[in-house]
Chain A
Amino acid sequence: MEADNLLVERAKNGDMAAFSELVLRHQKSLLRLAFRVVRDLQTAQDVVQESFFKAHQKLQSFEGRSAFKSWLFQITLNTAKNKLRARTFETIDTEKTPLVEAYDVEEIMMNADLKELIQDEIKKLPNKQRIALNLRIFDDLSFAEIADVMACPYDTAKANYRHALMKLRHRLSDTLSIEGWHAKQNKTLAEVDA
């Protein structure tokens, strides 16, 4: 498989097939990323299209100092956040919004209430910590890639992730016990930490 940077160079020289390959390669990740922010499939699709469009328009400015994927993630995150802001002022036509059916495996593995609770706790995290956590756990990015996306030093990206995880661990401790995740131990996390 041709490396992203080679495809980018070809695309910069006007090779549309090369850019098309980049779209194919990254559109799934971008759709998931956008959906996590806007929580609506139609809007997430719009974000993906717009992000690739912007990337193509600004391709000459991409110097390859970070990975192309990180650069795309950065554009998508910004586009999704802007869409979210704009959507606040729009009326959403629910008739046109496609229904999203629950994913079976997920349903089996996790109670919907618990999922919501965890997502609520994630939402409460400070912005930078939340982004670092999402990029690491949901998008499986390395800390170097996260640092690129967040435009911050490597250690800062890692520290934001660590802080997010420690907070969630602390806040979810009761829930973990209730859900039987700690069936074999009655200790609270605080006791374990002590």
Chain B
Amino acid sequence: MTKLEEWIDYMEGEADLKTMAKLGLLLEHSRRDREILQNLMRVRQMIELSDPALDIHEFVEDPSYMERLHARTMARIKKNPRPLATEDAKPAIEIILEPDSAGETPSNLE
């Protein structure tokens, strides 16, 4: 794993204890490493703020709007009763990655 990947794991709270300790020391003593982490955090924040769903924030947070959506959803469900259990099937999955017991390999990535 590269150092940048380690910093990403650190930022996401995914680094193991050993790596956390190592990077913690770097944060204390290395200006360059602090810059890398700060930069990653800025990029993440910018991506977060570019969320298209922020455009519908006022609808999502409007209780009456969501109540209406809920009512319409439930009305549709009640109108069409569920088939018997034997007729059920799993939903089609379009996002399929090749299973890889070794875990992370470049060939698994696009």
Contacts and interface: CB of A to CB of B under 8 A. Distances in A.
A31 B97 CA distance: 25
Contacts of A143: 12, 14
Category for how many chain B residues contact A? 35 or more
Interface in A156-173: 156, 158-163, 165-166, 168-169, 172
A163 B60 CA distance: 31
A87 interface: no
A137 B44 contact: yes
A59 interface: yes
A136 to B, nearest CB: 8
B47 interface: yes
Contact of B83 (A20, A57, A115, A187): A57
A162 B53 contact: no
A73 to B, nearest CB: 10
A83 interface: no
Contacts of A32: 51, 53, 56, 60
Contact of A110 (B43, B49, B57, B93): B49
Interface in A46-103: 48-49, 52-54, 56-61, 71, 74-75, 77-78, 81, 100-103
B89 A193 contact: no
Secondary structure of the A side of the interface? helix
B50 A119 contact: yes
Interface in B57-110: 57-60, 66, 69-70, 72-74, 76-78, 80, 82-83, 85, 88-97, 99-100, 103-104, 108-110
B95 A129 contact: no
Contacts of A109: 49
Interface residues of A, number: 82
Contact of A189 (B39, B59, B83, B110): B39
Nearest to A163: B109
A52 B43 contact: no
Contacts of A39: 52
Interface of B: 4-5, 8-9, 12, 14, 32, 35-36, 39-40, 42-44, 46-60, 66, 69-70, 72-74, 76-78, 80, 82-83, 85, 88-97, 99-100, 103-104, 108-110
